[in-house]
Amino acid sequence: MRGLIALLMLPTLAACSPKSQTAAPAALALDCHVDFAAQSARIVAQPNLTAAQHAPGEPYTFYSTTDGHASYLITQVGAPGHPAIMMQTAGGGASVKTTGCAYGNKRGYQQLANYLDSLKTWTRR
């Protein structure tokens, strides 16, 4: 759960940081016609991508671009909808767009997508 919250917070936090002089390469868009293993490998191989610290017991791996404009969630065995990949991109203002590829159980994938979408309105009290 903490990892999912961190995934959503990264684009917001990066929006507050100073902009670099050179633009980072654009994050790879998801292509659901590419199989899970190949797409996961392409995502992880991107330059300017950092892995979030893995929280024990969470069946997800999180990656974010160093500029904070895109984040990826790659499921592991035991995650709802596994295998699945989700991507969040920061839009104008505080908007966050979630897309994904459901390779496995569609119901589990929808559960995961709904949860991520619910975090968009989460605020710290």
**What is the Cα–Cα distance from 113 to 27, expressed in whole angstroms?**
20
Q: How many CA atoms lie less than 13 Å away from 10 in the CB half-sphere?
A: 25
- Quick one: pLDDT at residue 88? 92
pLDDT in tens, 88-115: 998 777 788 899 999 999 999 999 998 8
- Quick one: pLDDT at residue 16? 52
- 25 lies in a domain? no
- 19 lies in a domain? no
- 22 lies in a domain? no
- Quick one: pLDDT at residue 100? 96
- 108 lies in a domain? yes
- 89 lies in a domain? yes
| Structural domain count of the chain | 1
pLDDT in tens, 15-27: 555 555 566 678 9
- 103 lies in a domain? yes
- Quick one: pLDDT at residue 44? 97
- 110 lies in a domain? yes
Closest CA to 72 of 28, 110, 19, 36: 28
Q: What percent of the chain has a predicted confidence (pLDDT) above 70? A: 76
- 95 lies in a domain? yes
Q: Which domain holds residue 87?
A: 2-12+31-119
